[in-house]
Structure 1
Amino acid sequence: MEESLVTLVLVCVCAVITGAILRVLYLVWFKPKMLEMQLRKQGIPGNTYRPLTGDMDDEKAAVKEAWSKPMKLTHSIIPRVIPYDHYMVKRYGKIWFKWNGTTPRVNICDPDMIREILVNKSGHFIKLKVNPLVMLLSMGLTALEGEVWAQRRKLINPAFHFDKLKEMVPAFRTSCIGLAERWEKLVSAEGSCELDIWPEFQNLTGDVISRSAFGSSFEEGKRIFELQKEQAVLVMEAARSLYLPGFRFLPTAKNKRRMFIDKEIKRMLREIISKKLDLMEMGTSANDDLLGLLLQSYNQNTTSKDKTKNNGITIDDIIEECKLFYFAGQETTSVLLTWTLILLSIHPNWQQKAREEVLHTCGKNPPDFESISHLKIVNMIIHEVLRLYPPAIVMARQINKKTKLGDITLPEGADVWIPVLEVHHDPEIWGEDAGEFNPQRFSEGVAKASKSQNAFFPFGWGPRICMGQTFAMIEAKLALAMILQRFSFELSPSYAHAPYTVVTLQPQYGAHLILHQL
């Protein structure tokens, strides 16, 4: 009897172990090889699958080499920013696949196919599933799918309504005036000074976010921004490395730092939320900013028996939305303004054209919503900067069901890789001067700027297009107009041209300019 029981136990253990081994073999070898076979049948070229890591080690080595030194002062930045993808394009052409661990990522450059992916009428292109360490940066709206995403977006959307953004302009102006006055003090003694504008614009956009979305000044949110920036570096390192299940629980130095930052950010946001709730209960705080709208829904939800009726939002959900807005709202506009001033320093003729337009439209008065809407040249310049230096250089989607895309059929389990930077620099789409700074191409609007109406998407496309794009554009135009009114600027001899990515496209060694008082 006992021997039979022992035998049965051993058989069960062996069966479990055998099942686990077969499962691992399927995930690590058989499934990737089947996906590779299906892609090659479609005529899509790519590297041969290598177990577990795929192309990740080669990609990391290429990035390390490319980012080890600055580049020449040119806008042809693809070889430095995405060196491995650049190598794949030269080897295979515009459509190919690479291996992100055990998952093939199919590079799609055709604008019409990209539009189909981002509009996603089929519902087969879903947000990419990332490892838990990457999700520490934010699990807000961008991480949601389906009905939950639709409800959350509907809840947040009023905060970005056009009329609401017009009401935020005074807060934008207050922050921009503070920046301009600080710069005037720096240049007043000598008439000029050298300044790294990258941290300056990070502070500016952080202040704008805090004032307009949370009713606080930058100082209250400064520690959150600093921690979010550090977390972004740690998260990108995790994203470029192979993740094994359970690794996040190992007490490595970086894991402990990631978890500490996450807890600290959540603690500080809880304090801000608690203060806002108290003020709302006393009737001394409006509930029409982003945080107020979210908390209004939370208050309804806590008193409603039907949680789905009120979006089922919790304080933890609100914290994640705040994390997302703090990071995305600050990073997108700060990098846009930084690259705009760098490019206008390289191309002083366009700087002068923009300044003349601002002075003609606004004079020396602080620009307002009405005046910036008439800044056509400034608008053209910002669009050209977004083309050459888009904040997000790639987008990705996961395929959850075998689906037809153009004349190819993509298998379930593969990813699609949308190279924004590559499409924005494609000479076949933008002409032979695609690598040059030429705002004139946008003189008749975005639709007529290229040979394809779907080739410009710095803020994404379709139902998941960035909600904050108008917010970012208004803020950027106000700041740029105010700077052009008061200063001229040129590159410092110490400036090193080195675009690279830490979630967004940033200047690796800062952005050192010489400011001159006008």
Structure 2
Amino acid sequence: VDLMVDSAQTLLESWEARVDKSGGTLDIKIDDDIRAYSADVISRTCFGSSYVKGKKIFLKLRELQKAVSKPNVLAEMTGLRLKKCSSKCRNSHNSPFSSVKEHRLRSSFCRFFPTKKNRQAWGLHKQVHRLILEIVKESGEDKNLLRAILHSASSSKLGLREAENFIVDNCKSIYFAGYESTAVTAAWCLMLLGLHPEWQDRVRQEVLDVCGGRPLDSQSLQNMKNVCYICSPIFRS
């Protein structure tokens, strides 16, 4: 909770500064800010004192995600693109190329060609790999998620290359699985509160009553019934 509060405080201060600079009123598009907040929390949790480098990894992973999601020009030129199969094709057990097989063929074939998109993705992948291993070498005895991953890798009796890939893949999975879902959930919660100002007032008053001007902690969070009442259905949706 302390890590989340520290990251949230930084975000709120940046919003307040932007509002003051604009004269007291400002429309803020929060999508990128919420994603950055989510990445900051994950970086602090995963990498501890090396979270600044962790944020660099997040930015590289975002670039990598955008690079691999672009349309494959080579696939369009060569005709190795996913086509919609007819019902006869889908129902045929003897057909060597179902839609899934075509997709796999296209992906495996095109990813080895030195296209601009592939070269960009390869470069980003190498940078992410290098940054994560640098943090591993610099890591001390901090009790963070990276320490747990390192312990798991060392206890698995893997070779050096396999252990490095295990660590890098797990860190990448944490980012990809964690930051997007967390950011979307937070944005959804803020939107619902914006649609129901009466609940905003209840939550604000509850936070003031429970915290009394003190920073939020896990014990205070347990005493916030309205906050839990609002968040529970949002987490389920």
Q: Specify the TM-score bucket, using the shorter chain as the normaliser.
A: 0.7 to 0.9
Q: In the alignment, is residue 376 of structure 1 matched against residue 225 of structure 2?
A: yes
Q: Deviations over 1:389-423 (max 9, x none)?
A: xxxxxxxxxxxxxxxxxxxxxxxxxxxxxxxxxxx
Within 1, Cα distance between the matches of 2:66 and 2:219? Answer: 39
Counterpart among 8, 16, 20 of residue 188 in structure 1: 20
Letter of the structure 2 residue corresponding to residue 296 of structure 1:
H
Q: Deviations over 1:38-67 (max 9, x none)?
A: xxxxxxxxxxxxxxxxxxxxxxxxxxxxxx
3-state secondary structure, aligned to 1:352: helix
Shift of 1:376: 2.3
Q: In the alignment, is residue 363 of structure 1 matched against residue 218 of structure 2?
A: no
Matched residue, 1:483: none
Structure 1 segment 115-264 matched on structure 2, within 5 A = 169-188=1-20, 190-216=23-49, 218-236=51-69, 241=82, 242-244=103-105, 245-264=108-127
3-state secondary structure, aligned to 1:333: helix
Q: Deviations over 1:249-308 (max 9, x none)?
A: 1222222222222122111111111111xx3xxxxx23x31111222344455xxxxx38
Matched residue, 2:95: none
Change (3 A) 1:217 1:172: farther
Within 2, Cα distance between the matches of 1:230 and 1:185? Answer: 28
Within 1, Cα distance between the matches of 2:130 and 2:164? Answer: 12
Q: In the alignment, is residue 271 of structure 1 matched against residue 138 of structure 2?
A: no
- Cα RMSD (Å): 2.7
Shift of 1:246: 2.3
Shift of 1:356: 2.2
3-state secondary structure, aligned to 1:188: helix
Within 2, Cα distance between the matches of 1:236 and 1:260? Answer: 16
Q: In the alignment, is residue 320 of structure 1 matched against residue 169 of structure 2?
A: yes
Shift of 1:233: 3.2
Contact 2:35 2:183 in 1 (8 A): yes
Q: Deviations over 1:185-244 (max 9, x none)?
A: 223353332222111122222221122221136532233212212322344457995342
Contact 2:68 2:117 in 1 (8 A): no
3-state secondary structure, aligned to 1:195: coil
Matched residue, 2:145: 290
Within 2, Cα distance between the matches of 1:300 and 1:324? Answer: 20
Change (3 A) 1:378 1:215: same
- Which structure 2 residue ranges, 5 or more long, are not aligned? 73-80, 83-102
Sequence identity (%): 35
Within 2, Cα distance between the matches of 1:223 and 1:214? Answer: 12
Q: Which structure: larger Rg?
A: 1
Letter of the structure 1 residue corresponding to residue 206 of structure 2:
E
Contact 2:43 2:51 in 1 (8 A): yes
Structure 1 segment 9-20 matched on structure 2, within 5 A = none
Within 2, Cα distance between the matches of 1:191 and 1:217? Answer: 36
**Number of corresponding residues:** 204
Contact 2:3 2:45 in 1 (8 A): yes
Within 2, Cα distance between the matches of 1:201 and 1:382? Answer: 17
Contact 1:172 1:212 in 2 (8 A): no
Shift of 1:321: 0.5
- Which structure 1 residue ranges, 5 or more long, are not aligned? 1-168, 280-284, 302-306, 389-518
Within 2, Cα distance between the matches of 1:345 and 1:217? Answer: 36
Matched residue, 1:117: none
